Amino acid sequence: MTTTASDAHANPPLTLSEAGTGRPVLVLHGGGGPATVAGLAQHLSRTAHTLTPVHPGWDGTHRPARLTGIDDLALTYLHHLHEHRLHDVLVVGSSLGGWIAAEMAVRDTAGVITGLVLIDAVGVQVETEPITDVFALDARGIAEHSWHDPDRHHLDPAAIPTEELARRQANMATMRTLAGDPYMHDPELLHRLGHVQVPTLLLWGESDRVVTPAYGAAYAEAFGNGRIEIIPEAGHLPQIEQPEATFALVDAHLRRTGNQPRPQ
């Protein structure tokens, strides 16, 4: 089911898909758009109440001019959780979505988030492990940095239908607006993560060259209660290349961190 929620005074409209029942799980996509987490959200909806938004500006959705950074998205989604009186929320974010999840967690003073899963997330600066500038790569270069098996997943732009190519280009333009300067990180975020004490699982594709497993290890270490699991034969989107292994780890974390008492 797709719904649109809005608060004219505080938030832009949200295009949001909901499915399933049980513990709320907010699933946040990366720069590639909602299709990159569709399989994961569908899987989680079997045992949880999944909420899967399309970030404003992706896939043709409206992005208000005032929404100019990842912190704005984080506050938008926190507001939605509060507005709908959701609690004991697991937030799962892929790539850019993982960055949003981390920004949400450092701002969650009410404690509605009780678990995090970051999948090959960007968002922090690790001096020894720079984030690859995907804006500087051609389609083949992006495939080689993003996938364990780039030959299987690379698509020649000339072979992509015009409408789909336009969608991808518009998504990249929105990502550049929200995350291009400073490039794909918040300079202060790494130092703030120690205050986040909720159980945090970082899942990392062993072959990711956009953000390396060493980058992921430093990210996990910065959390107050973080750990990392490496997924073999996967790149930047292990939920697509190795879905069974990824889903099993997310399911275990969902069970491990659930059933928290509701704040009074």
DSSP bridge partners of 27: 92
Say if strands 113-119 and 200-205 run parallel, antiparallel, or are unpaired: parallel
Residue 83, pLDDT > 70, answer yes
Residue 262, pLDDT > 50, answer no
pLDDT at 121: 98
pLDDT at 159: 87
What's the pLDDT tens digit per position in 103-155? Answer: 999 999 999 999 999 999 999 999 999 999 999 999 999 999 999 999 888 88
Nearest Cα to 234, choosing from 212, 210, 204? Answer: 204
pLDDT at 264: 44
Q: What average pLDDT does the chain have? A: 93
Burial 66-101, CB ≥16 within 10 A → b, else e: ebeebbbbbbbbbebbeeeebbbbbbbbbbbbbbbb
pLDDT at 6: 46
- Residue range 251-259: average pLDDT? 89
pLDDT at 157: 85
Nearest-angstrom CA–CA distance, 181 and 209: 20
| Dihedral sign for Cα atoms in the order 58, 63, 69, 71 | negative
The distance from CA 9 to its chain's CA centroid, rounded to whole angstroms, is: 26
Stated pTM of the model:
0.94
- Banded pLDDT at 258 (limits 50, 70, 90): confident
| Dihedral sign for Cα atoms in the order 185, 13, 89, 2 | negative
Domains, the chain, with CATH or none: 64-257 (3.40.50.1820)
What's the pLDDT tens digit per position in 36-70? Answer: 999 999 999 999 999 999 999 999 999 999 999 99
